[in-house]
Structure 1
Amino acid sequence: MNYLFDQYVFDTFKLDSVDGRMDAIRSRIQPLFHHYAQQVADQLADHHLPNLPIHVAKHLRRKVHPAKNTWVAIGGDKRGYKKYPHFQLGINPDYVFIVLAIIENPINEKNIARAFRQNLSQFERLPNDLIIIPDHTQLPYIQQSEADFNKLFDRLENIKKAEFMLGRLAKVGESVLENQASTSQWIQETISDVLPFFELAINSPRAK
């Protein structure tokens, strides 16, 4: 099988019915998720982060409206991932993304935000092609070079529903998606770039 995020894969989101789109997600997209998520898990194991579970989104609550995006998460525990910092590989009608994700009011969110703010200079030195997605349910994103990290971390600390996703995205037809080797390299480079912040998040002091 060719594990490519090509036009055929993106066309999944043109299917109007819940069942039709879900069937296409299972057949077209989830095999790619399993393939690349395992590569991420192996890469993290090489950095002494073994046994991070892989969670493929199932969209079980979708009964009326078809899923607008889909993803696989690497991290958390066997029961789930949203309450922990984790990595996400996902796709929506506009782009594929690979990010460090802190979403839906995870455990220790305030201390994670404080730890990030204390290391502000590390974020400001990141490659300019990284992006920030401030809401995992929406398509808009911010270029790293234009981000106000201090403001983002203040929001993450003080607003319950605030989120922070840091990584890269690629639109259909971009060179990194043309073959498996370039896609794997793109994902692995992004994981390497954001890994220090994942470690910072999981090692931040626990709230008392």
Structure 2
Amino acid sequence: MPFTGFTESDFDVFIIDGLEDRMEALKKTVRPKLEELGQFFSPTLSSLTGNEMFPHVAKHARRTKNPPNDTWVAFAANPRGYKMMPHFQIGLWKTHLFIWFAVIYEADNKSDYGKTLKENTEKILHMIPGDFVWSMDHTKPGAVSHDCIEKEELQTMFTKLQSVKKAEILCGFQIPREKAVKMDADLLLKKIDSVFRILLPLYKMA
């Protein structure tokens, strides 16, 4: 089934009370769309990265009490999982849609990657558009706009990635819910594609 875009009810899933009810709505409305995005972008990302990229839709299987506040499809060069390696993500919080390149705390080569990023700070500073955002925690919705970040702040983030066990680095683009629901499928797919292409050099550095 072709991707049809996101609606208000997709975002409203995250205001449903209770784990079971929220998960049921998530499986029914949002997950099929993430699966479609997974199938759509895997060939593109495989071609761009030079690695076969596999889609991984979040299952939230370990949850026993707290319902998920966000959900996503991740793309990584491993059919078994994505958390241990650099990856791309498309997903939703109740407030916005996100498109990330991410290295999270489980990643194997985090320290080496932090070093490479720090060595390329100047390049990254000029390469990333001002309306893109950075985060150091994939479990929180907040992010800092690239045009608000100084060189020293970026370097501090890259240093933390090398030395702090729980440190993470995410760079990407957020689309507010109000705007995302007005974008038709074609426009949204083009936007995601363009974000991935801009983020590609960060993946290559990893």
Tell me the TM-score normalized by structure 1.
0.91
CA contact (8 A) 2:132 2:146 kept: yes
- For structure 1, list consecutive stretches of 5 or more residues without a partner in the other structure: 202-208
1:127 and 2:132 aligned? no
- 2:87 alignment partner in structure 1: 86
CA RMSD of aligned residues (A): 1.6
2:194 to 189, 193, 199: 189
Any residues of structure 2 matched to 1:148-159 within 5 Å, and which? 148-159=153-164
3-state secondary structure, aligned to 1:174:
helix
Any residues of structure 2 matched to 1:146-185 within 5 Å, and which? 146-147=148-149, 148-174=153-179, 178-185=183-190
3-state secondary structure, aligned to 1:23:
helix
CA contact (8 A) 1:57 1:70 kept: yes
Q: Which residue identity is paired with 2:185?
A: Q
Equivalent-residue separation in structure 2 for 1:175 and 1:13 (angstroms) = 16
Q: Which residue identity is paired with 1:66?
A: P
Any residues of structure 2 matched to 1:1-208 within 5 Å, and which? 3-47=4-48, 49-125=50-126, 126-147=128-149, 148-174=153-179, 178-201=183-206
Q: Which residue identity is paired with 2:62?
A: R
CA contact (8 A) 2:97 2:180 kept: no
Q: Which residue identity is paired with 1:69?
A: D
- Stretch of structure 1 that moved more, 48-57 or 191-200: 48-57
- Stretch of structure 1 that moved more, 37-46 or 120-129: 37-46
Deviation string for 1:135-171 (max 9, x for gaps)? 0111111101122211110111111101111110111
Tell me the TM-score normalized by structure 2.
0.92
Q: Which residue identity is paired with 1:133?
A: S
Q: Which residue identity is paired with 1:130?
A: F
Runs of 4+, deviation exceeding 4 Å: none
Equivalent-residue separation in structure 2 for 1:174 and 1:122 (angstroms) = 30
Aligned-pair CA distance for 1:47: 2.2
Q: Which residue identity is paired with 1:150?
A: Q
CA contact (8 A) 2:48 2:200 kept: no
- Stretch of structure 1 that moved more, 47-56 or 126-135: 47-56
